[in-house]
Copies of this chain bind each other. A is one copy, B any other.
Amino acid sequence: MYSVNAIATSAEPPQWVLTLSCIDGPGIVHAISGAVVAAGGNIEESQQFASRDTGRFFMRLQVGAVAPGGPEAPAPFEERFARALAPVTERYRMTWRLDTVGRPVRTLLLASTATHCVNDLLYRQRNGQVRIDVPLILSNHTTARDIADFYGVPFEHRAISGAEDKAAFEARVLDVVEEQRIELVVLARYMQILSPGLCEALAGRAINIHHSFLPGFKGANPYRQAHARGVKLIGATAHFVTTDLDEGPIIEQDVVRVDHSYSPAELMQLGQDEEARTLRRAVTWFAENRILLDGDRTIIFR
């Protein structure tokens, strides 16, 4: 995800966010902060983490421009910053990404019948809480159409009744990703299993949400199984999509308390509320460049 060294172009907001990772070692922070100083910037927010598992170092910086300063003055800040960063990122062989704080992330929503996640994301997108642009909702059902209409988001229905339909649906996903310069694909209760090819094509930029229980239940109708086992907590997990079904790097999890009196239907409704909340947080953090990958684990710089 971080190998695309995108430089955001919006000049409006006065902050930039730099995320990076490299093999841990002395002097990294000093070198990075030196580039900030050289570009005439100020560190507004900074988080870092040294992983003992992989020996890698991770950092997220929010930087503001202080003053024109010196010979770089005419150039926009992000150019100056990128120029000052170049020798550092090269020397430490960093994977990095520079973005503008607050820039909405171009997001494709995939949906099926359930609308709770789509509704929650669009409501919060509109009120500014979740910084995403949604050029399209692609669904194999029509239930989300009127919500899409209300929020003025294009909606495209493609029924899936066989392998051929599914392949066509996935091809359409890849086309949209390219045509619309999609940065994030959100499986907002899209209930089809992605093909391995699509999983790989979207690695690190596709987020899925699913219910979670203690203990976990495999197979169909998990809320019925959870009811049968009398669980006391039901929850949701948002994770990156990988070819291991529902086993990608975990981004966020949450639970809610239930008791013996809840029917499977009530468990499902509460579970859906948790799904919407949990997915919303994962999408927000992605849009704010707060999620980095350390092997199979996520680093969340909240």
Q: Is the CB of A269 within 8 A of B129?
A: yes
Q: Is the CB of A214 within 8 A of B48?
A: no
Q: Is the CB of A255 within 8 A of B214?
A: yes
Binding site secondary structure of chain A: mixed
Instruction: Using A231-B253, A232-B250 as known contacts, say yes or no to A43 and B66 having CB atoms under 8 A apart.
Output: no
Q: Is the CB of A215 within 8 A of B237?
A: yes
Q: Is the CB of B254 within 8 A of A233?
A: yes
Report how far A48 CA is from B116 CA in the complex, Å. Answer: 33
Interface size class of A (residues with CB under 8 A): 35 or more
Q: Is the CB of B53 within 8 A of A26?
A: no
Q: How far is the CB of A89 from chain B (nearest CB, A)?
A: 16
A233 cross-chain contacts in B, Cβ below 8 A: 235, 253-255
A294 contacts the other chain (CB 8 A): yes
Report how far A231 CA is from B238 CA in the complex, Å. Answer: 11
Report A's interface with B, CB cutoff 8 A.
Answer: 24-30, 33-34, 36-37, 40-50, 52-53, 66, 115-116, 119, 123, 127, 129, 146, 150, 212-216, 227-233, 235, 237, 246-247, 249-255, 259-261, 263, 269, 273, 277, 294, 296-300, 302
A50 cross-chain contacts in B, Cβ below 8 A: 43-45
